[in-house]
C-alpha cells in the first residue's frame, strides 16, 4: 500500500504479508479513509490465508479468528472496516470445510471484488453528485475523501472529479485538516496531480471565505452515517457544517451505502476515536506545544442530520436525511 504518512514529500509503498501487519498499517494511518480501510482489512484476511496456507498451518481456524479480531481492533469509527470484515467472515464461514488452499483463494477473490466494487461505487456516486455542482463552482472539502481514501476515484473528491470530467470548471478549497493534515498533504496533492485547481486554507479560515461568498458548496466524505442521518467524519466537519447553514451553502456528504450503519440509531452511538496527543502537540519530530500541557485529540466529530443538505450515495441522493427517508431509501435500494 502507498504509505500515506509520508506523502506528499515521498511516494513509497510498504508491503504487508499478514493480518497483523495490515492492522498495524491501519492503526498507524499508512492507509486511512473509511473505504480504503475497509479494502485493506479485507486484504488483511486474504493475506493471512495465503500465509497460513504457505505454512501449511494446521491451527488455521484459530489463527483466522485472531486475524479478524486484530483487524477489527485497528480503528473504531469507520464502519466500512466492520462491514468488509463481516463480508469476509461470511465467505469464510461458508467455505470453512474446503481445504486451506481453496479457502484462501476464495478469500483473496472476495477481497479483490470488494476493492473493484469500491471503485465502481465511487464512480456511480460521482455521477449523481456531479449533477449537484454548477460550472464555475468553488467547492470546499475537509480531510481527504479522494482516491487515497478509497480503492480509487474517491467519495467527495470523486464527485468533484466526475463534475470536471463532465466539463465543468470546478475549483477546490482544501481545509488543511488539523492535526493529521490530510487536506494539506493528501487532498492538495491528489488534485494537483489532476490539474484541478486547489487552494489550501487552514481550518479556521473557512468561516471568513464563506462570509465573503467565496464558496458555493461543501462536500465531505463520511466514516459512519447513523440510521437518523447523523454523520461522523473527520474532526472539524461539524464546524464546517454549522458555517454552511449560517451562510446558506449546501453541505453534501458523499458516502457509499457501506458507510450507513443502521445499528447506530444516532450519532451519539458512533464510537469516536481518540488518538495520540503527539498529533496535536507537534508534527513528526517538531514539538510546538508547551511541554506538559494536557491535550484532547478526538479524531472525528458528529454532524447532526439537520445540517446535512443531502447524502450522495451510489444509489442516488437522499435530501434532508432523517430516520424515515433514509429507511425508505434503503428499502428501495
Ligand atoms: O482519520 P482518517 O484520515 O482515516 O479520516 C478520514 C475521513 O474522515 C474521511 O473524510 C472519511 O473516511 C471519508 S473517506 C472517503
DSSP code per residue over 212-280: TT---EEEE--SEEETTS-EEEETTHHHHHHHHHHTT--EEEE--GGGEETT-SSGGGS---B--THHH
Residue 143 near ligand 1, beta carbon < 6 Å? yes
User: 155 with 233: CB under 8 angstroms?
Assistant: no
pTM for this entry: 0.97
Nearest CA to ligand 1 atom 6: 33
Q: How many CA atoms lie within 13 A of 143 on its CB side?
A: 29
pLDDT score of 74: 98
pLDDT score of 128: 98
pLDDT score of 145: 98
Tens digits of per-residue pLDDT, 178-189? 999 999 999 999
Sequence-ordered list of residues with C-beta below 8 angstroms from that of 282, at least 6 positions apart, any chain: 288, 289
Ligand 1 atom at minimal distance to the Cα of residue 154: 15
Centre of ligand 1 from the C-alpha of residue 102, in Å? 34
Residue 16 near ligand 1, beta carbon < 6 Å? no
Percent of the chain with pLDDT strictly greater than 90: 98
Residue 254 near ligand 1, beta carbon < 6 Å? no
Centre of ligand 1 from the C-alpha of residue 34, in Å? 5
Residue 299 near ligand 1, beta carbon < 6 Å? yes
Alpha helix ranges (H) inside the chain: 19-27, 34-54, 60-72, 79-94, 100-130, 156-165, 182, 188-193, 206-211, 237-246, 278-281, 323-332
User: 178 with 283: CB under 8 angstroms?
Assistant: no
Percent of the chain with pLDDT strictly greater than 70: 100
pLDDT score of 9: 97
Centre of ligand 1 from the C-alpha of residue 95, in Å? 33
* Substitution candidate for ligand 1 out of 35, 38, 78, 141 with most atoms within 8 A of CB: 78
Which stretches of the chain drop beneath a pLDDT of 70? none
* Substitution candidate for ligand 1 out of 36, 219, 233 with most atoms within 8 A of CB: 233
Residue 118 near ligand 1, beta carbon < 6 Å? no
pLDDT score of 76: 98
pLDDT score of 46: 98
Residue 162 near ligand 1, beta carbon < 6 Å? no
Amino acid at each position: 500500500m502507498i504509505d500515506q504518512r509520508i506523502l506528499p514529500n515521498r511516494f513509497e509503498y510498504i508491503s504487508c504479508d499478514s493480518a497483523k501487519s495490515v492492522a498495524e498499517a491501519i492503526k498507524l494511518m499508512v492507509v486511512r479513509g473509511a473505504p480504503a480501510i475497509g479494502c485493506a482489512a479485507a486484504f488483511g484476511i486474504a493475506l493471512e490465508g495465503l500465509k497460513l496456507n504457505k505454512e501449511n498451518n494446521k491451527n488455521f481456524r484459530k489463527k483466522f479468528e485472531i486475524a479478524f479480531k486484530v483487524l477489527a481492533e485497528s480503528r473504531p469509527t469507520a464502519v466500512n472496516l466492520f462491514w468488509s470484515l463481516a463480508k469476509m467472515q461470511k465467505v469464510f464461514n461458508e467455505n470453512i470445510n474446503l481445504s486451506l488452499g481453496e479457502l484462501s483463494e476464495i478469500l483473496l477473490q472476495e477481497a479483490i471484488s470488494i476493492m473493484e466494487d469500491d471503485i465502481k461505487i465511487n464512480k456511480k456516486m460521482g455521477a449523481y453528485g456531479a449533477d449537484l455542482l454548477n460550472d464555475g463552482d468553488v467547492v470546499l472539502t475537509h480531510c481527504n475523501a479522494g482516491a487515497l481514501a478509497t480503492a480509487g476515484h474517491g467519495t467527495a473528491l470523486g464527485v468533484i472529479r466526475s463534475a470536471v470530467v463532465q466539463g465543468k470548471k470546478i475549483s477546490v478549497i482544501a481545509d488543511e485538516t488539523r492535526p493529521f493534515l490530510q487536506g494539506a498533504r493528501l487532498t492538495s496533492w491528489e488534485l494537483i496531480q489532476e490539474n484541478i485547481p486547489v487552494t489550501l486554507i487552514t481550518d479556521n479560515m473557512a468561516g471568513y471565505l464563506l462570509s465573503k461568498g467565496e464558496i458555493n458548496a461543501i462536500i465531505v466524505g463520511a466514516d459512519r452515517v447513523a440510521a437518523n442521518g447523523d454523520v461522523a467524519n473527520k474532526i472539524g466537519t461539524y464546524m464546517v457544517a454549522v458555517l454552511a447553514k449560517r451562510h446558506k451553502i449546501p453541505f453534501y456528504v458523499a458516502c457509499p451505502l457501506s458507510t450507513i450503519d443502521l445499528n447506530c440509531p444516532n450519532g451519539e452511538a458512533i464510537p469516536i476515536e481518540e488518538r495520540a496527543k503527539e498529533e496535536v502537540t507537534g508534527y513528526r519530530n517538531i514539538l510546538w506545544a508547551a511541554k506538559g500541557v494536557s491535550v484532547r485529540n478526538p479524531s472525528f466529530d458528529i454532524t447532526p442530520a439537520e445540517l446535512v443538505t443531502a447524502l450522495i450515495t451510489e444509489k442516488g441522493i437522499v435530501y434532508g436525511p432523517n430516520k424515515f427517508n433514509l429507511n425508505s431509501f434503503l428499502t428501495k435500494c
